């Protein structure tokens, strides 16, 4: 899953980015409203963490412009805790709202819920022929046994599972598994797919020649 963090405070931006990457997310960043809006419109992110008080374009105006074109899940962060500010953020199109200071574990839980809802799911547990994917614990079990996956392998499994029954193109997978700092190789996705099949069974991921991959 690929996220965009739009935050002007360099320390908070860095800590959020590192923390989210440790939780197996691919993360892009922006330090002001103009840069954040450009990136949010250019890439189909799985979620956006958006600060309200930003230089250039503030978070509310950024969100208003974003919603003219995209429905990307947005979690707003702000130091303002007055009710009118929360209402303003939600009315502008925010999917959830968290005031600073906040607990990082709560932020993670809210992001997981936003991504889950955007995929039409009500539970954090997904099951496919003996394979159980826990999007809250970010773990995979097969017939009751925990299967160790690398961050990229888990990201691949989770993204295909959230889009179960649909064929996901290679381009879309690259866009959602790798962030702007990655220098990827053209065959890297094939390597991850091959490794997942070795761990979860050769039939777990289906290949549609010329189209992409899917979990049925």
Give tens-digit pLDDT for 68-92: 999 999 999 887 666 777 788 888 8
pLDDT band of 129, cuts 50, 70, 90: confident
Location of each CATH 1.10.10.10 domain in the chain? 125-214
Name the residue with higher pLDDT: 93 or 185. Answer: 93
At 174-214, the pLDDT tens digits run 888 888 877 665 677 888 889 999 999 888 888 887 788 99
Least confident of 4-18, 88-102, 150-164, 180-194: 180-194
Q: Select 2-118's CATH number: 3.40.50.2300, 3.40.960.10, 1.20.58.1180, 3.40.50.1370.
A: 3.40.50.2300
Question: Can you tell me the mean pLDDT for 36-56?
Answer: 94
- Which residues lie below 8 Å from residue 206, measured CB to CB, with a gap of 6+? 213, 214, 215, 216
pLDDT band of 122, cuts 50, 70, 90: low
CATH topology of domain 125-214: Arc Repressor Mutant, subunit A (1.10.10)
Q: Is the predicted pLDDT of residue 132 greater than 60, yes or no?
A: yes
Q: Is the predicted pLDDT of residue 120 greater than 70, yes or no?
A: yes
The mean pLDDT of the chain is: 88
- pLDDT at residue 166 in the model: 87
pLDDT band of 61, cuts 50, 70, 90: very high
- pLDDT at residue 20 in the model: 95
From the number of C-beta atoms within 10 Å of its C-beta (0-12, 13-18, 19+), residue 90 rates as: middle
pTM of structure: 0.83
Q: Is the predicted pLDDT of residue 103 greater than 90, yes or no?
A: yes
- pLDDT at residue 189 in the model: 81
Location of each CATH 3.40.50.2300 domain in the chain? 2-118
Q: Is the predicted pLDDT of residue 13 greater than 90, yes or no?
A: yes
Q: Is the predicted pLDDT of residue 118 greater than 80, yes or no?
A: yes
- pLDDT at residue 184 in the model: 60
């Amino acid at each position: 899953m690929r996220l965009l963090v739009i935050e002007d405070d360099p320390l908070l931006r860095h800590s959020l980015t590192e923390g989210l990457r440790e939780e197996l997310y691919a993360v892009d960043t922006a330090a002001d409203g103009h840069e954040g809006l450009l990136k949010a419109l250019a890439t189909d992110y799985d979620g956006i963490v958006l600060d309200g008080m930003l230089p250039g374009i503030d978070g509310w105006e950024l969100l208003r412009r974003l919603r003219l074109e995209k429905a990307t899940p947005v979690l707003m962060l702000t130091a303002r805790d007055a009710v009118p500010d929360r209402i303003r953020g939600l009315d502008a199109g925010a999917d959830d709202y968290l005031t600073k200071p906040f607990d990082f574990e709560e932020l993670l839980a809210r992001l997981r819920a936003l991504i889950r809802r955007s995929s039409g799911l009500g539970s954090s547990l997904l099951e496919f022929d003996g394979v159980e994917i826990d999007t809250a614990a970010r773990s995979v079990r097969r017939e009751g046994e925990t299967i160790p996956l690398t961050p990229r392998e888990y990201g691949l499994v989770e993204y295909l599972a959230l889009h179960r029954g649909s064929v996901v193109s290679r381009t879309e997978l690259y866009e959602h598994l790798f962030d702007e700092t990655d220098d990827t190789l053209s065959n890297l996705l094939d390597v991850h797919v091959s490794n997942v099949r070795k761990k979860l069974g050769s039939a777990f991921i289906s290949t549609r020649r010329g189209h992409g991959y899917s979990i049925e």
